[in-house]
């Protein structure tokens, strides 16, 4: 006895034909690939110097979660930077050498970014150096340390801006391209790891104002000025010193790296009519 055939309605036949035509039409898979590539190119590109450091890594993560393609800039921490780039959500991230004291190296980085992405929407200048030297011990603050701090913390951000300016000016992001300089409240309070470090951050804030005027309207420039940030380096300090920093802060705690990163995101996404400004993340420390 023959097996009865299941009756198929004309509506079902039409639906099946439509599904088949979607799946089998020439170039369908190619169209999806183009759409995926288009979505990638719509995502902004952010470059973070010092990106493998304790604060820089958190900023990289925050930018990636906001949908940006992130370039983790490094000096000597190549493997750490590459591992971070590979771990970030969203894909199409990279780790490039960003030696902020070497203008030729920065030009090479800019060329790599141009070849891979064709644009830079956000630059976060997070690379920096310091060493604790009592402010009254002028002899301990030797010329080598002074030159290292100033070339990294002051000339470095300027040289990076100079190298990436043509790519920043190509940004089509809402509010235009943004440069974020990671500064410090030491610029305002003149209290920090050493005298020259404080001076270097004051110079960064002054540069933020000058560049905010010079690069407008295509590029906005903002300083983020944290207080003492509760990271591994700070936690290794003398417990009594740490206790004093907390007691001197009206909000009675240290800043978290995530709060610095949140300020970076806010400056990029929400403070779109802000340039040449210094945004504190300090728990009110200068008030005490």
Complete DSSP assignment for the chain: -PPPPPP--HHHHHHHHHHHHHHHSTTHHHHHHHHHHHHHHHS-EEEEETTTSHHHHHHHHHHHHTT-EEEEEESS-HHHHHHHHHHSTTS--EEEE--TT-HHHHHHHHHHHHHHTS---EEEE---------TT-TTTS-HHHHHHHHIIIIIHHHHHHHHHHHHHTT--STT-EEEEEE--THHHH--SSSHHHHHHHHHHHHHHHHHHHHSTTTEEEEEEEE-SB-SHHHHTS-HHHHHHHHHTSTTSSPBPHHHHHHHHHHHHHT-TT--SEEEEESTTGGG-
Catalytic residues: 197
Helices 78-87/54-65 angle, 10° precision: 20
């Amino acid at each position: 006895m023959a097996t009865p055939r299941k009756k198929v309605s004309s509506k079902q036949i039409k639906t099946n034909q439509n599904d088949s035509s979607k799946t089998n039409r020439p170039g369908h898979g190619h169209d999806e690939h183009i759409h995926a590539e288009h979505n990638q190119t719509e995502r902004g590109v952010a470059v973070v110097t010092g990106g493998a450091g304790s604060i820089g890594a958190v900023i990289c993560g925050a930018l990636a979660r906001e949908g940006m393609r992130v370039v983790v800039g490094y000096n000597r921490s190549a493997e750490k930077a590459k591992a971070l780039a590979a771990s970030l959500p969203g894909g199409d991230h990279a780790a490039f050498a960003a030696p902020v004291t070497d203008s030729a190296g920065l030009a090479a980085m800019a060329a790599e970014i141009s070849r891979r992405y064709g644009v830079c929407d956000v630059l976060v200048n997070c690379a920096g150096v310091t060493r604790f030297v009592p402010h009254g011990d002028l002899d301990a603050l030797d010329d080598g340390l002074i030159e290292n701090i100033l070339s990294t913390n002051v000339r470095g951000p300027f040289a990076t801006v100079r190298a990436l300016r043509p790519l920043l000016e190509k940004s089509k992001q809402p509010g235009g391209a943004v440069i974020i300089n990671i500064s410090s409240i030491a610029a305002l309070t003149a209290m920090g790891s050493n005298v020259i470090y404080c001076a270097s951050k004051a110079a960064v804030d002054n540069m933020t104002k000058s560049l905010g005027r010079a690069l407008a309207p295509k590029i906005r420039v903002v300083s983020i000025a944290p207080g003492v940030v509760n990271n591994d380096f700070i936690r290794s300090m003398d417990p009594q010193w740490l206790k004093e920093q907390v007691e001197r802060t009206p909000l009675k705690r240290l800043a978290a790296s995530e709060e610095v990163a949140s300020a970076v995101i806010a400056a990029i996404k929400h403070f779109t009519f802000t340039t040449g400004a210094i945004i504190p993340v300090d728990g009110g420390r200068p008030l005490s």
